[in-house]
Structure 1
Amino acid sequence: MTRTIFPQIDPPQRLLMGPGPSNTYPRILRAMAADMLGQFDPEMTSYMNETMALYRDVFMTDNQWTLLINGTARAAIEAALVSLCEPENKVLIINNGRFGLLLSEISERIGAKTIMLDYSWGEVASLKEIEQAIIQHKPHVFACVHGDTSTTTAQPLEGVGEICRRYNVYSYVDATATLGAMPIDTDRWGIDIVSASLQKSMGGPPGCGLITISDRAAEFIFSRAHTELGLQEGSQERSQRSRIGSNYFDLAMIMNYWSEKRLNHHTEATSMLYAAREAACIILEEGLENCFKRHRLATKAISEGARAMGLALFGNDETRMYNVTGIYIPNHIDGEQIRAEMRNLFEIEIGSAFGPLKGKIWRIGTMGHNARPHKVFHTLMAFETVLRRAGLEIIPGKAIDAAFAVYEGNQ
C-alpha cells in the first residue's frame, strides 16, 4: 500500500478580520508550547485555581464556579443547557439571529419544551417584552445570546437577571462573541450562567469553553448529581430530579473535578488551560475598561471608514456590538469576489453572512489582538482598493481619513 506523505504544515499568515476566529496573541501561542503536566500535579492544579480566579475578574463575578469546559464555545453552551434543563422543562429563548437558533437546537435535543421569542435578525428584545413572555410561559430557563455575530447586534441585559429571579427562572447567556470586548457584568446583571470561549475577543485559539455559574444554579445542578458534592442517591430532592443527560457535559461532575476534591472526570486539556490562563492575564493587565475602549474604537473606525466610502451599515448604532460591523453589499458588487480579492491580494479575511442576511452584508470583525489601529487601517486600505477595482466610485483615502479621525478624536 502506498503511503501518502504530506509536507510540514505551513498555513498562510492571514489577518483574520471576520466574525471569528481572530488571530491569536503571540504570547498565548508561546504559552501553549510549554511542557505537559500530569492532571493532578500540584503545579497543574495551581494553574487551574489561578485560571478560575482570573476568569472571575473577566466575567466580573464572585462566582466560585468559574472554570473551563474542554471543547469549543458550543461545548460550554451545551454543558449549561443540558445541566440546567430537565426533559419537559420549558426554555424561553430570544430568537433574533443564528445563535439564538443554535440555543433552540440544543434545547430541543435535550428534550426541553422550547419557546421562541421571535424577532427579525438585528432586533433586540425589551425588558418589558422579556418579562411579559416569562409571565405568560412560566419557563424553567430563560436563554439568550449577548452578541450575535450573525447580526452584529448586542442584546441589552441590564435588569434581565432581576426579572428572572423575581419569577424563579434560571438565566443563561451565551457571551461567546463579546467576552473581552464588551462588559459582561455577570453579578450586577444577576445572570445565573454565562459561557464564552477564547477564539474571538479573548484573542486565543478555538477549543476552550469558558463558563461561570452562580451558587443558585450550582445548587440546582448538584441536586441532579450522583456525585460526592451532589445530594445523596436516596434523598427526597434527588428523587425528584432527572439525572443530567450527558456524561461529558455534566456540570456537576465538571465542578467536582475543578473543586479541591479533584474528583476525576476528564483529563484537562493542558495546552488549552495554558492558553486560557494567558488570555485572561493579557486582558486584565491591559485593564477591562481599556480593552473595551480599544474594541469600541476599532469598530467605530471601521464603521466610519465604510460610511466614508458611501457604504451603508446594517443594524443600529445603539445596539451594535463593539467588535463586529455589518456592511451592506452594494447592488452591483459581487460580495464573494470582494472577499476573495481581500484574501488573495492582501491575505485578509472578512466575513460573509447567512440566513436572511446571506449575500446582503459583509461582516468585518475587530477582535482581540486585531482590534488595533494599524490592523484597522490595513483592512480599510485593502477594502477600499478592491472595491475601487470592482468599479465602486470612491475618493481614494477617504476611508483612512475617517478612521484616523475616530482615533485622533479619542486621544
Structure 2
Amino acid sequence: IDPPHRLLMGPGPVNVHPRVLRAMSADMLGQFDPEMTRYMNETMALYRRVFMTENRWTFLVDGTARAGIEAALVSLVEPGARLLVIQAGRFGLLLSEIGQRIGAEIRTLDIPWGEVASLEQIEAAITTHRPQVFAAIHGDTSTTMAQPLAGVGAICQRHGVLSYVDATATLGGMAVATDAWGVDVVTGGLQKCMGGPPGSAPITISDRAAVHIMKRRHVEAGIRGEDLDEGPGALIRSNYFDLAMIMEYWSEKRLNHHTEATSMLYAAREAARVMLEEGLEARFARHRAAGAAMSAGLRAMGLSLYGQDAYRMTNVTGVYIPDGVDGERVRARMRG
C-alpha cells in the first residue's frame, strides 16, 4: 500500500504525528503482560491530564470516537429512561439517534445551527423534561461552534441528572475541563486535535457515574466468580460497549473483556505524551492563534464565515462558498 501524501485540512482525520506512527510500529505484547498493563496504567494517568480531571476511571474504548459515544450512552441511559440532548448541529442529531437505538425516550433542546445554548436554556429544559441523562456536543464540526459548558455539571447535579459530553473534535485543541465543568462522562478521539489515527476513544468517568454504571453490572458466565456480584440495575444492552465490564478490564482485577487494541494503545499513549510535552496552555494558545489567523485571512479574501465569532471552535473554521464558485473544483485543484 502506498497512499499519496496529503496535508489534511478537513475536520478530521488529520495527519498523524511521526512519533505516533513510530509508536504504532512497536511489537505486540500479551494483554496481561506486566509491560502491557504498565502501559495501560500510564495511558490512564496521561489522559487524566488531557481531560483535566482526577477521575480514577479514565481509559480507552477500542474503536473510533463514535465507539466512545455509544459506550457512554448505552451504559448511562437505561431502556425507557429519558435522554435530553442539545440539538444544534449534525452531531447532536447523532446523539439522539444513538439514544433512540438503545431504547431511550428522547427529549431535545433545539438551538439554531450556528448558535449555542445558554445555561438558562439548559436548566429550563432539564426542569421541564427531567431526564436521567443530559448530553451535549462540546465542539460540533458541522457548525464549528463550541458549546460553553462551565456551570452545566452543577445544574445537572442540582437536579439529580447525569451528564455526558462528546469532546471528539476539541480534545487536545481546546480546554476539556472535565472537573471544572463538573460533568460526569466525557469522550474523545485521537484523529483530530490529538494528532493520532482513528481507532481509539479516550473516556473519563466521574465516581458518581461509575456508581450508576456498576449498578448495571453483569459479568459474563465464562469468567464470573463467586466474588463478583450482579448489579440490580437494567442490563447494559451491549456486550462490547458495556462500560462496567470495560472498567473491570482496566482495573487492578484485569477481568477479561476484550483483547486491547495494542497498536492503538501505543498510539494513544504517544499522542498524549506529545501533547503534554508541549503543555496544555501552550497547545490551546497555538490553536487559538491558528484559528484567529485562518479567520482573519479568509475575511481578508472577502469570504464570509459561518456561525458566531464568540463561540467559534479554535481548531475548525467554516466558510461559505461564494455564489458561482464550484467547491468541488476548488478541492480537486487543492489535491493536485
TM-score, normalised to structure 2, is 0.97
Residue 332 (structure 1) aligns with: 324
Query: Which consecutive residues of structure 2, in runs of 5 or more, have no partner in the other structure?
Result: none
CA distance in 1, matches of 2:334, 2:296: 19
Which of 174, 185, 192 is residue 166 of structure 2 equivalent to? 174
Residue 64 (structure 2) aligns with: 72
Residue 239 (structure 2) aligns with: 247
Shift of 1:337: 1.1
Which residues of 2 match residues 182-261 of structure 1 at below 5 A?
Answer: 182-227=174-219, 232-233=229-230, 238-239=231-232, 241-261=233-253
**What SS class does the counterpart of residue 318 from structure 2 fall into?**
strand
Shift of 1:121: 1.1
Residue 277 (structure 1) aligns with: 269
Residue 390 (structure 1) aligns with: none
Q: Are 1:120 and 2:112 an aligned pair?
A: yes
Query: Which consecutive residues of structure 1, in runs of 5 or more, have no partner in the other structure?
Result: 1-8, 345-411
CA distance in 1, matches of 2:162, 2:179: 14
Which of 32, 49, 56 is residue 48 of structure 2 equivalent to? 56
CA offset digits 1:36-95 (Å, max 9, x no partner)? 000000000000000000000000000000000000000000000000011110000000
CA distance in 2, matches of 1:231, 1:192: 25
CA offset digits 1:23-43 (Å, max 9, x no partner)? 000000000000100000000
CA distance in 1, matches of 2:102, 2:50: 30
Residue 140 (structure 1) aligns with: 132
Residues paired across the two proteins, number:
331
2:140 maps to amino acid: D
Q: Are 1:154 and 2:146 an aligned pair?
A: yes
2:39 maps to amino acid: Y
1:326 maps to amino acid: G
Shift of 1:232: 2.6
Shift of 1:313: 0.8
**What SS class does the counterpart of residue 11 from structure 1 fall into?**
coil
Q: Are 1:311 and 2:308 an aligned pair?
A: no
Which residues of 2 match residues 1-150 of structure 1 at below 5 A?
Answer: 9-150=1-142
CA offset digits 1:246-268 (Å, max 9, x no partner)? 00000000000000110000000
Shift of 1:302: 0.9
**What SS class does the counterpart of residue 194 from structure 1 fall into?**
strand
2:44 maps to amino acid: M
Report if aligned partners of 1:193, 1:212 keep a CA contact under 8 Å in 2. yes
Larger Rg: 1
- C-alpha root-mean-square deviation of aligned residues, in Å? 1.2
**What SS class does the counterpart of residue 116 from structure 2 fall into?**
coil
Percent identical across equivalent pairs?
69
CA distance in 1, matches of 2:202, 2:97: 20
Which of 270, 285, 302 is residue 294 of structure 2 equivalent to? 302
Report if aligned partners of 1:225, 1:231 keep a CA contact under 8 Å in 2. no
2:209 maps to amino acid: A
CA distance in 2, matches of 1:333, 1:231: 63
2:143 maps to amino acid: T
Report if aligned partners of 1:244, 1:250 keep a CA contact under 8 Å in 2. yes
CA distance in 2, matches of 1:327, 1:50: 40
**What SS class does the counterpart of residue 204 from structure 1 fall into?**
coil
**What SS class does the counterpart of residue 108 from structure 2 fall into?**
strand
Report if aligned partners of 1:222, 1:231 keep a CA contact under 8 Å in 2. no
TM-score, normalised to structure 1, is 0.79
1:31 maps to amino acid: A
